[in-house]
Amino acid sequence: NATPVTSPNSNLVQIPVAAANPSLSVAKSVLTPVTTNLGADNGIVDAGDRIVYQYIISNNGNVTISAVTPVDAGPRFGTAQVLGTGSMSAFTLTAGTTTLLPGQSATFTATYTLSQLDAYRAAGVTVPANAVNNSATANGTPATGTLPVIPPGTATTTLPAGPKLCI
């Protein structure tokens, strides 16, 4: 058995430790507005045209968060704000890392490819609330603590109107 060693001159030092506070935020933007030269009709919005989104995810907490990634179901279209029927690409990390220290950010992009129904629902709509709205949140795994619900970042864009047929 070892005998504890004590010193008559020891001083007690208390070091305050902040509670774990994991926190992420998402800033979302339209990096490239709709491209109209990828679908069947060059110059008008139709199936196959694309919208490129950018996501900046920031660690606003006081713990490291790993496996950080955006969460995005895709844009909503038109006055009814119906979920699009096109397809969202996988996320591409364009700056930073997926493990964020406190104060660090990572930038991702993803491309949404329009369906013809998406184009019909929103082409020519100029009221932002009725145009193309897309919200995203983020996921990650904090080193300690539990990640709270992350408020969404939202980006809005409009689709140019196509030609009209008048009889």
In tens, the pLDDT along 102-115 reads 999 999 999 999 99
pTM of the full predicted structure?
A: 0.81
CB-count exposure of residue 119 (10 Å: 0-12, 13-18, 19+): buried
Q: What pLDDT shows up at residue 40?
A: 64
Calculate mean pLDDT across residues 84-88: 93
Q: Is the pLDDT of residue 83 over 60?
A: yes
Mean pLDDT of 50-72: 95
Choose among 65, 144, 136: nearest CA to 103.
65
At 61 the pLDDT is 94
pLDDT above 80 for 167: no
CA 31 to chain centroid, in Å, comes to 12
The Cα 154–Cα 50 span in angstroms is 18
pLDDT in tens, 119-163: 888 766 766 666 889 999 999 999 998 999 999 999 988 877 765
